[in-house]
Amino acid sequence: MSHADESDDHGHHLPAVEDWPRGFGEASWWPFITAIGAAGFYIGASLYVLGTGDSPLVPMAYGPAVFIASTFVFLAGLYGWTYHAFVKAYWESESTGVGLRMGMLAFLGSEIATFGAGFVYYFFIRSDAWANLPELVENGSIFGSLVIANTVLLIISSVTLHYAHVALRENDRRRFIGLLGLTLLLGIVFLGGQVYEYYEFIVHEGFTLTEGAYGSAFYGLTGLHGLHVSLGAVLLGIIFVRSLFGQYTAEKHTSVTTVSMYWHFVDVVWVFLVVVLYVGAIITV
């Protein structure tokens, strides 16, 4: 890359030039790093389950160790992927972002299939293995004030993100940054509430992942959703920091659009989870 090219490109190199073996065309290996880290989450969870019980197949420490290592791999891959897909693209004035928006729609389609598989499993056990429900489900305490508060927070975060995007389109940068920061804060508080809920269920109620068919479905689906909210919070954090550095205009806001699409998706999934896993469980007990 020539000096003139670097000056025009603000020092941001092309991913296909620097990050992929010659002959592979315009591509980046960062999505594969991210996928390896994401797969590690499932492997870590599986190892944890295999390490519990009266006759564990593997040491219990394997699961958490793999999960933590996968977190670093996942975040590293996500950073590289985001840098090349959005930061680099921002400096290319000719980029319309249509391909990235279509890519996000395709990704959300795969996410619908993932959560759909989880719900199919849940409905299956409801019809065949619905027995030995934990006490907090039988007495209705699983649907408490914390769940309601978390749900309200997540719905509000969708509203604040929407109006942050509206403010950006109106070139109101101050309101855009303020509402974006509020959205990020609400997402972090939601995650803190979910962690606290897990703590209460596991430590005080004895309701764990191995607590029957309902336990595996509950933690599997809410944990998968929590992972997606965590990813959304990371993405919100990235665009928030970029906004502080003066990026994004009414004409150039592809990453804000795609992250908004993702965040609204996880919000809708959570509402469905609350209706099915929390309210639906106690109604039919």
Distance CA 131, CA 86 (A): 48
| The predicted structure's pLDDT at residue 164 | 94
Q: Judge contact between 53 and 42, C-beta under 8 A.
A: no
What's the domain count of the chain? 2
270, two tokens? 């959570």
Q: Which residues contact 4 (CB under 8 A, 6 or more apart)?
A: none
Pick the closest to residue 215 from 275, 136, 144 (CA basis): 136
The pTM is what? 0.74
Residues of the chain above pLDDT 70, percent: 80
pLDDT tens digit sequence for 153-163: 999 999 999 99
Residue 284: which CATH number?
A: 1.20.120.80
Same domain, 118 and 255: yes
Residue 33 three-state SS:
helix
Instruction: Note whether 156 and 252 are same-domain residues.
Output: yes
Geometric angle at alpha carbon 101, from 95 and 106, rounded to 5° = 140
Residue (of 100, 80, 104) closest to 264 by Cα position: 104
pLDDT number for residue 62: 92
pLDDT digits (tens, 9 = 90+) for 7-33: 444 444 444 444 444 444 455 678 888
∠ Cα 140 145 146 (to 5°) = 105
- What is the span of the domain harbouring residue 63? 1-95
Which of residues 95, 115, 135 is at a domain's end?
95
Q: Please list the ranges in the chain whose pLDDT falls under 50.
A: 1-25, 94
- What is the C-alpha to C-alpha distance for residues 151 and 145, in angstroms, rounded to an integer? 10
Q: Which of 104, 80, 81, 71 is closest to 230 using CA atoms?
A: 71
